[in-house]
Chain A
Amino acid sequence: MASITLEKVSVSFPIYNAATRSIKNRLIQSATGGQIRADRGSNRIAVVQALQDIDLRLQSGDRVGLVGHNGAGKTTLLRVLAGIYEPNEGRVSIDGSIVPLFDISLGMDQESTGYENILLRGLYLGLTRAQIRARFDEIAEFTELGDFLNLPIRTYSSGMQMRLAFAVSTSVAPDILLIDEGIGAGDAAFIEKANARLKQFTERVSIIVLSSHSEALIKSMCQKAVLMQHGRLIGAGATQEVLDQYRALRAGNVG
């Protein structure tokens, strides 16, 4: 049984650049982004409060959409869930294997062949060489790239690279899948194929957390949603309710 529990989780980033001087000892609240404040006890380092007091409990079967304006903390929250950022305060406990799908073309080596990149991406996902070899044919077939797999991927179009990355990333189902933004994938025919595979793939995953600006995508994939603003969690519940709340919030900001 996969599960995710966050208790009073806060994350703040130290900013070590020169620009910090102008904002020292000042508290700035801007419309986008988290909160910028001077660090307590230090007048030199500015701190961006990216997440504040997040409580979240997810269980097997949950499909959760993350919504909020740019810089509301969605990506940071996903990184906390992935175990990349350990929070400054609060407790995180996660059961189950996690695969973060943030940047789908992460770490691809342009000079290496398609096959070598399948291997590389598989290793990123935590597979062993033997496991990847066993999946080679299936992945190669899905990409429909044929002989191109023997060429360095710098010769590929971006759609072709996307196919490759997508095929490897969806070849193993983890317990928990974290997705940042939508996965766009190539031409229309492939999108259909990709959607079918994504559906099959996500059915085997216990928990999905999806961050996206596309209401349609969130509605189609998630039965729950979470609304974030300035690093705080300001709404959670059924997808439609939260999306309505988000819309009202945006209307309020404009008017």
Chain B
Amino acid sequence: MPALPPHLAMISLEFFLQQCLIGVTNGALIALVAMGYSMVYGIIGLINFAHGDLIMLGACLALSLVGASGLVDAGPTATWWGVVLLLLACGLFCGTLNMAVDRFIYKPLRNASKLAPLVSAIGVSFIFMNVGLFWLGPADRSFPELVPPTNLFSGDTLQFTYQDLLVVVVVVLLMVALSVLVRSTRLGRAMRAVSQDPTAAALVGVDVDRVIAATFFIGGALGGAASVIYSLYIKTIGFQMGFQNGLYAFTAAVLGGIGSIPGAVVGGLVIGLVRSLASAYVGERWTGAIVFAILIVILVFRPEGLLGRRTREKV
């Protein structure tokens, strides 16, 4: 088949599939961040504005660790193990940091009006951003290419590299682990109980504060993993990266139905796809407007989000 002339190239099926692949990979990353918003919202009804910046700090740590460990010059096997260790280290770091923020800032405000923790979260976001500014400096930093950008498909028509694969594999594994945790463990059952009725949960013997702390840890740890994947995939990090990425992920969480973990996944994939298709077919500068226009339309018709709950309960 002869190659299409450039002005027609974008109507080819390969081009469309390629955009979808990019969209799914980006969407998976957005979904991972969105889960952190959704979990915290589900359990205490707080929109954790600092979540995006928490991920930025995870990326700072990842960059420092890579620099200190000399992972760049290691062989392929050592590099893969290095990536696993990075995921663990940044997961632990972000999880612990998120839990500490809850313990010292949100927990004392648990019985205050909803606005007090919300404003505090915005404050934490700015504090994190300033820490990131000190850590990284004002300019964007490039992240070393640890995972090779080798194409997994033969030929040039479709590109899906080891880097894309890493994103999809890690996100799918974490999602499965999270849904098993929430569905079928003692902690997961306690989390669902606390999110539905904290007082009733306390009255059956659930330590509500501990469950909330665990939720912050898990949501933060997912964010830590996201920070490593983001750094390896996007390869540019900066102290302001948390804001925009956080906004898209939060949008994904609302779109899918905030509080719902499958909803966060669906919302992330939808936003990833819309973003890549819009920037390919309409133009990069329109993507933000298109993503949010679609969000508004969906929310007008389904205010509870795509997978949000709309069950009628008898009182």
A in complex with B: no
Residues of chain B touching chain A, judged by Cβ–Cβ distance below 8 Å, are: none
